[in-house]
Amino acid sequence: MPIRFNDTKLGSLYTNFEAQKRTNPNLKLGQDQVLQLVALVGDGNRGWSSTKVANELKKPGMTRDQQIALVKGGMTANEKKDLAAILDQGSVPLEPSARQFLEAVLDRSAPQPPPPPPPGTDGLKISGDQKNGLSGTTKAGATIEAINISTAPGGRLRMDDTAIIGKADANGQFNMAKLTGDQAMREGDLIRMRARYADGSTSDWLTVKATGLANKDTNNATVALFRIGLTDAGGGKVSVSNINASRQVSEPGAQLEFTNKRTGEKARVTITESGGFPDTFKLNGKPGDSFSVAASDGTNNTSFTETVGNVTVPGGAPANTDLIPDPALHADELDSAGKPRFSKVNFTGPLFVDGAKPEDVQQGQIGNCYFPAAIAAIAKQNPDVINKMVKDNGDGTYTVTFKQKDWSSGRFKDVPVKVDGDLWARSYGGPLYGRSSNSSDPKKMELWYPLVEKAYAQWKGSYNEIGNGGHASDVFEAVVGKDGQDMYISSGNLDRVFETIKRSIDNKQPVAAGTYHDERYANTGVYGDHAYSILGYEQTGTEKYVIIRNPWGESEPSGNGANDGIFKLKLQEFGKLYQNLMYTN
């Protein structure tokens, strides 16, 4: 008998797992899938979204006991019943470690320590310098995964977003293993790596410093200024945090120096092993104070004379520019008292630079990938729709016109939404949420995409209302005014999927695709639980390809050219990695 879930989101995810089992009878839910389930259970914790809970659960260094405590802190009695039903009545089998985790969450047994690592997991060793690539030993046949955590902070890579760089031979030896592209190793870079064995298990992480590539290290630590969050802590203190804790502010061990531009006082902090700030780190200051930031990796800029930019504490004297009340922040961007942790900045750049293009669109801090993926797809196939939907009123306000279906008549009617140029901003001054790719300068940034996103949040109620997942097909309806459609992708319907993509693109209609909620994405460059724009297709003989764009405007499979988020996959690979196709009639 099917489980009757109290939590609809939990039920939806479990139904997805059941659908996967129908196409893969050997499917078992492992630790990654169980963490997805309990992230939905733990979303009551501190008012966090399930996305934030998931990021915390997967945070480097998070112990099993800490994960269990985090889930319990947000779990309701009904959600506890749902998890018990999965354990007792679920149709999808659980791996032993996953079952033990759920039992511990439900207090059915005392939390058990994680199983011991398989033999040889501590056997990953590096030998010599890295002039010709990484060399070393591990288990025979193991693949070598690595990420450059010195360059990673400049993008959206997590510390476990690895690429396969080599494979051990029958004697367990590997050599000339290299990272490429934006991850290419430079003298002094920190390379985080591990071995993955044939049974799917992995070695412990090993971090090595690249040596032998140049006469000296001339590359200082990269700093993700846009991830630094400042919050007034009261009593003349300012809390410093990483607003995107699943990714790095800088490389572990780097030092950042903050200088209060009002008082001249300096303070230094060492970046933690997870790439963030110690929980107790605070600055002396008050709302409105601006701090210059300098960094050193211990070799470069040791005098801290070269700065990377400035960050400002929200809450200073606000500029009187709020012509229209703005949509409220997402719940993740509120403090424990429910007050905003960010301020607004008035953006006055051009509405369009050279019309709407998919490359203009970049997703921000909010969990609404379905929205920028849909808008970029429309900008690719029918940019005139966007050029016409956004109007500059000439008085600091803009009108964005959406479409809404009248179910009594079956027709779509116009819904005009008026907004101003104020946008919630990060401490460094750039937009917190959606932005355009040309600039983050309030006087230069192309405004059409951030304003369309803002108007959508205004229409739906807040950024929180649009920032917890959704469907690109709903956005297609709201912009194009045509019924949205969804198609489940499987190995058995790939020809029909491709023909749907081909027909839509040929008829200038937008298409998007969504990925699964599971662990299949290791080393693929594609992300789970994420929406992507479909920009086009190619066909060479019998080989078919799908052209795809990540709404981040970066991060893609290696070997696909520039780090602009645009890549192509063979249809068979697309079918393995993508779960559903979204398009219009």
pLDDT digits (tens, 9 = 90+) for 77-102: 888 888 888 888 888 888 877 888 88
**Neighbouring-strand partners of residue 134:** 177
Give the Cα separation of 361 and 372 in Å (integer): 6
In three-state secondary structure terms, 35 is helix
Pick the range with the lowest mean pLDDT from 122-136, 138-152, 154-168: 122-136
Q: Where in the chain is the domain with CATH 2.60.40.10?
A: 226-312
Distance of CA 111 to the CA centre of its chain: 30
Question: What percentage of the chain reaches a pLDDT higher than 70?
Answer: 95
Are the beta carbons of 329 and 342 closer than 8 angstroms? yes
232, 238 Cβ separation under 8 angstroms: yes
Q: Supply the pTM of this predicted model.
A: 0.77
- How far apart (Å, rounded) are the C-alpha atoms in residues 204 and 62? 14
- CATH 3.90.70.10 positions along the chain are 484-584
pLDDT digits (tens, 9 = 90+) for 135-153: 999 999 999 999 999 999 9
Write the pLDDT tens digit of every residue in 527-561.
Answer: 999 999 999 999 988 999 999 999 999 988 876 76
pLDDT digits (tens, 9 = 90+) for 181-191: 888 999 999 99
pLDDT over 50 at 119, yes or no: no
CATH of domain 125-209: 2.60.40
What's the confidence (pLDDT) of residue 284? 97
Amino acid 303: pLDDT? 95
Query: 1: Cβ–Cβ under 8 A, 6 or more apart, which residues?
Result: 89
Angle (CA) 439 441 445, round 5°: 50
Task: Report which DSSP code applies to 119.
Answer: T
- The partner residues of 35 in beta bridges, in order of sequence, read none
CATH of domain 484-584: 3.90.70.10
Average pLDDT (311-336) is: 83
Enter the tokens of residue 377.
Answer: 């797809």
Tens-place pLDDT, residues 32-78: 788 888 888 766 655 677 777 877 787 766 677 778 888 888 888 88
Instruction: Provide, rounded to the nearest whole percent, the portion of the chain with pLDDT above 90.
Output: 60
Average pLDDT, the chain: 89
Q: What is the pLDDT confidence band of residue 451, given thresholds at 50, 70 and 90?
A: very high
**Fold observed for domain 226-312:** Immunoglobulin-like (2.60.40)
